[in-house]
Amino acid sequence: MKTINSITLRNFRNYDNLSINFEPGINALVGENGHGKSNILEAIHFLSVLRSYRCNQIKNLFRWNHNYFHLIGDLKDKYGRLMLEVNYGAKRRLAINGATVPVASEFMGQFYCTAFSPEDIRLIHGPASERRRFLDMALAQNNPAYMRFLQDYNRALKSRNVLLRMDAIDNNSIDAFSRILVDAGTEIIHARNDFCRQLESSLTDYSGDMFRTEDRLTFGYHNTISNGPQEKISIGEIKLQYNKVLLENLGKDIQYGMTLSGPHRDDISMLLNRKKLQEYGSEGQCRLAVMALKLASGDLLLKKRANDAVIFVVDDVFGELDDSRKLCFLNTIKRARQVFLACTDKNTLLDIDLACNYVIRDGTATKA
């Protein structure tokens, strides 16, 4: 199984040029807030899924007063070494062992990564787009074909919306893009249905570790086409419903100048004792619920990719955990081949064995 031997950051966040070596097992990055611990974790995560777990804008990853960044990951396994490179500037360049990779889906999947961070609270308090993003990132790693369906869908959605806003409506062109939406969107909904059923089952185990025995944490997936994950609806049935909804809503779509139904309107919800956490949960309950959700998602990834490189990045998430919950969390994440963990105080890690320990200060990493 692959592990990350080293990573190099150039003009990434607060780093001018940093190279840092790692070991299999748990690698700790310890230091005060604002010195760059999270940026290293973010770079590792970006090399896996070409997305940041902290922001949506690529330009926010550039070092101040710079217009590009360069990441290099040196991975190793029993067959040798693998070099991953990401360059973002005026254009994006992806490379594996020096050879340019033209398509993002061919670059992704060299290793698999789940991130735990304080920003995860947005899965409850943030907009629905944050929760769709969570589903998309998780599914892209569990299902290689998913990203292609998502890209096809988003391109067709953009084109259809442009046509809906035109003064002269071209029904034939709208129909053509509607067919693409239905084909790709059906696959997306079916994949999300299946994933969310598995996620809800796994969530039961981890919610018991985070909440009292009498508390019950539940999870739901909601879309504007079918009736959610509880019904094991077939691809054929989703497709029929999708065609019907688009046809029935065409007048409204034209009126509003946008496609009002489809996976781009999906959402998920979390309930504690049948009450929406978004509306009734305390800050502590929301953070524990999100941690249980991310643990459940990570568990599915570990099971799905048992023979591959699964890596966890853990960005200072221990604030709401007492020692028993913290120990449960640490014992769960160490099932991964490699863990990168940032914290302000090494003592928060209890007595867990560390493979490597760095002190991060002012954009420098010193091995402790």
- Kindly report, residue by residue over 189-199, the tens digit of the pLDDT: 999 999 999 99
Q: Is residue 198 located within the same domain as residue 272?
A: yes
Q: Is residue 91 located within the same domain as residue 10?
A: yes
Structural domain contains residue 183: yes
**CA atoms of 333 and 349, how far apart (whole Å):** 12
Structural domain contains residue 119: no
Q: Is residue 144 located within the same domain as residue 291?
A: yes
Structural domain contains residue 139: yes
pLDDT of res. 204 = 86
Q: Is residue 154 located within the same domain as residue 22?
A: no
Helices (H) and strands (E) counted in the chain, each on its own, are 11, 15
Residues of the chain with pLDDT under 50: 228-230
pLDDT of res. 190 = 93
Q: Is residue 171 located within the same domain as residue 252?
A: yes
Structural domain contains residue 118: no
**CA atoms of 60 and 129, how far apart (whole Å):** 19
Structural domain contains residue 117: no
Structural domain contains residue 116: no
pLDDT of res. 1 = 73
Q: Is residue 192 located within the same domain as residue 292?
A: yes
Q: Is residue 167 located within the same domain as residue 50?
A: no
- Residue that terminates a domain, selected from 306, 325, 351: 306
The domain of 243 spans 124-306
Q: Is residue 148 located within the same domain as residue 272?
A: yes
Please, how many CA atoms are within 13 Å of residue 140, restricted to the half-sphere of its CB? 26
CATH number for the domain including 144? 1.20.1050.90
pTM score of the predicted model: 0.91
Q: Is residue 129 located within the same domain as residue 225?
A: yes
CATH number for the domain including 7? 3.40.50.300
pLDDT of res. 181 = 97
Q: Is residue 245 located within the same domain as residue 332?
A: no
Contact indicator for 344, 146 with CB cutoff of 8 Å = no
pLDDT of res. 229 = 46
By CB neighbour count within 10 A (0-12 exposed, 13-18 middle, 19+ buried), where does 237 fall? Answer: middle
Contact indicator for 143, 194 with CB cutoff of 8 Å = no
- Residue that terminates a domain, selected from 290, 306, 322: 306
Q: Is residue 301 located within the same domain as residue 321?
A: no
The b/e string for 78-101 (b: 16+ C-beta within 10 A; e otherwise) is eeeebebbbbbeeeeebeeeeeeb
Structural domain contains residue 57: yes
User: Which strands make up the sheet holding 356-361, listed edge to edge?
Assistant: 112-116, 310-315, 338-343, 25-30, 356-361, 364-367
Amino acid at residue number 368: A
Q: Is residue 132 located within the same domain as residue 161?
A: yes
For the chain, list the strands marked E by DSSP.
Answer: 3-12, 15-21, 25-30, 69-77, 80-88, 92-96, 99-100, 112-116, 217-222, 267-272, 275-276, 310-315, 338-343, 356-361, 364-367
Structural domain contains residue 135: yes
For the stretch 60-97, pLDDT in tens is 999 999 999 999 999 998 888 999 999 999 899 999 99
Q: Total domain count for the chain?
A: 2
pLDDT of res. 307 = 67
